[in-house]
Amino acid sequence: MLCAAAILMITMGIRQTSGLFIDPINSSTGLGIVAISFALAIAQFVWGLVQPLFGAIADKHGPRATLVSGALLLVAGLALTPFTVHSEWGLVLTMGILTAAGAGAGSFSVLIGASAQRLSPDRRSFAAGFINAGGSFGQFVFAPFVQAVISSFGWVVAMFALAASALVTIPLSWLVSRDVPAQPAADPLPSSDLMAQIRTSMRDRSYLCLHAGFFTCGFHIAFLVTHLPGEVALCGQSAAVSATSIGLIGLFNIAGSLCAGWLGNFCRMKYILAVMYASRAVIIAIYLVSPKDPITFYVFAAALGFTWLATVPPTAGLVAKLFGTRYLATLFGLTLLSHQIGGFFGAWLGGLAVARNGDYQLMWYADILLALLAALINLPILEAKVRMSASDSTHRAGASSS
């Protein structure tokens, strides 16, 4: 758990501070905010796309090779960005594809899947929250660090510093993947292969509801992490306010992730998700009517941060409840793909909105609406009391309650 949390601290810390590079890259290259936002939107999609792919590889061959390969991709993408940044498609290749794919290989699906196979069912929810808290701590640490390096030495040096940081995940990968069993004897999927399990899952209404809710979650998280610095600048505040706000989101999400993981041992996870999503709509509405001073941004970041990626533990926990942990990396990876399809639109449309309208007002209203929809769509999920095999999961209604 400690090694997995440390890897996620680095990969998420790098990934969640990408918005801090928008203004410096735009100032030094003149690419324009729409072009840079598009590259970062591609990164959101690619990060989600590789989750089930790397998850399937890790499920079949173990997580070590997946994690090491991802580290090398992440280092390559960061190190090459300064040399390709003068071309929009060069930026798409480095920040949009290489960096995002590398961060995705060392992210939730592989790390939580590897850890869940080594833990008893009653500890999996807390473990997911603990690992997720590592990613939030990375955001808290990396945001002020990246902004300080950009301010003192420029964004190119900051990119190289992040590439050096990514190298640390390689030795950690050997530790987190040590002695991970190929298939735990206690898990209930002895006769199901991967494709059969995926087909069964995609016919499951509860699993599809998870996908829909996670899509809307990805939309507003990607919008905020990409464009919060731009929103702060439009309100006349400094880049330091942006970095502090992003750091506060990560800091408060540590508490939120641990709390969500702990509550998953006692409460229905679908209700945890519904409350989190609904609270975001309220938080954004309060922000819109508040004065746009530094204190408002800090309070907004802290409140939003408590639920930021705290949705991950209950979502992963529900997937494990419904289908077991044998293919958790793959099945949870597919929900992350839906999350990042939403993330693509959040990052891209945010850039279009500010380019055409001069502000993000329409995006904030969209955020509120989508957060409410995400809360509602989680309520019909049938949260099974026991894990079942793929062959009888379609008959779960008799052993579960809504």
Helix, strand, coil percentages (3-state) for the chain, rounded to 5, are 80, 0, 20
E strands, 190-290, are none
Lowest average pLDDT, out of 57-71, 185-199, 287-301, 355-369, goes to 185-199
So what's the pLDDT on residue 179? Answer: 54
So what's the pLDDT on residue 120? Answer: 73
Mean pLDDT, residues 93-104: 93
| DSSP 8-state secondary structure symbol assigned to residue 383 | E
Phi, psi of 328 (to 5 degrees): -65, -40
3-state secondary structure of 271: helix
Match 């601290």 to its residue by tokens.
9
In the structure, what pLDDT confidence band is assigned to residue 401 with cuts at 50, 70 and 90? very low
So what's the pLDDT on residue 257? Answer: 82
So what's the pLDDT on residue 71? Answer: 93
3-state secondary structure of 384: strand
CA angle 320, 207, 226 (to 5 degrees): 95
The predicted model scores a pTM of 0.72
In the structure, what pLDDT confidence band is assigned to residue 309 with cuts at 50, 70 and 90? confident
The candidate with the shortest Cα–Cα distance to 77, out of 96, 105, 63, 60, is: 96
Classify residue 52 as exposed, middle or buried by CB count within 10 Å of its CB (0-12, 13-18, 19+): buried
Structure-block tokens of residue 301 = 């970041």
Lowest average pLDDT, out of 262-271, 297-306, 386-395, goes to 386-395
What count of other Cβ atoms lies within 10 Å of the Cβ of residue 286? 13
Structural domains of the chain, with CATH: 2-179+194-396 (1.20.1250.20)
The candidate with the shortest Cα–Cα distance to 390, out of 310, 331, 344, 303, is: 331
* Distance between CA atoms of residues 72 and 163, nearest Å: 9
Q: What single letter denotes the amino acid at residue 322?
A: L
So what's the pLDDT on residue 372? Answer: 94
pLDDT at 305 over 70: yes
Lowest average pLDDT, out of 81-90, 259-268, 275-284, goes to 259-268
CA angle 101, 177, 94 (to 5 degrees): 15
| C-alpha of 161 from chain center | 22
- In this predicted model, which residue has the larger pLDDT, 352 or 194? 352
* Distance between CA atoms of residues 44 and 36, nearest Å: 13
Q: Which helix (H) or strand (E) holds 351?
A: helix 328-357
Rg (CA), the chain: 20
With a CB cutoff of 8 Å and minimum separation 6, the contacts of 340 are 44, 45, 46, 47, 48, 49, 51, 218, 222
- In this predicted model, which residue has the larger pLDDT, 56 or 205? 205
pLDDT at 182 over 70: no
CA distances from 263 to 126, 144, 313 (A): 8, 31, 10
Phi, psi of 400 (to 5 degrees): -140, 170
So what's the pLDDT on residue 177? Answer: 67
In the structure, what pLDDT confidence band is assigned to residue 9 with cuts at 50, 70 and 90? very high
Mean pLDDT, residues 371-388: 78
Mean pLDDT, residues 148-167: 94
* Distance between CA atoms of residues 259 and 253, nearest Å: 9
pLDDT at 392 over 70: no
Mean pLDDT, residues 149-173: 94
What count of other Cβ atoms lies within 10 Å of the Cβ of residue 376? 14
Lowest average pLDDT, out of 125-134, 142-151, 248-257, goes to 125-134
Q: What single letter denotes the amino acid at residue 259?
A: C
So what's the pLDDT on residue 187? Answer: 45
With a CB cutoff of 8 Å and minimum separation 6, the contacts of 184 are 117, 118, 325, 326
* Distance between CA atoms of residues 378 and 375, nearest Å: 6
Match 């410096």 to its residue by tokens.
24
Query: Across all residues in the chain, what is the average pLDDT?
Result: 84
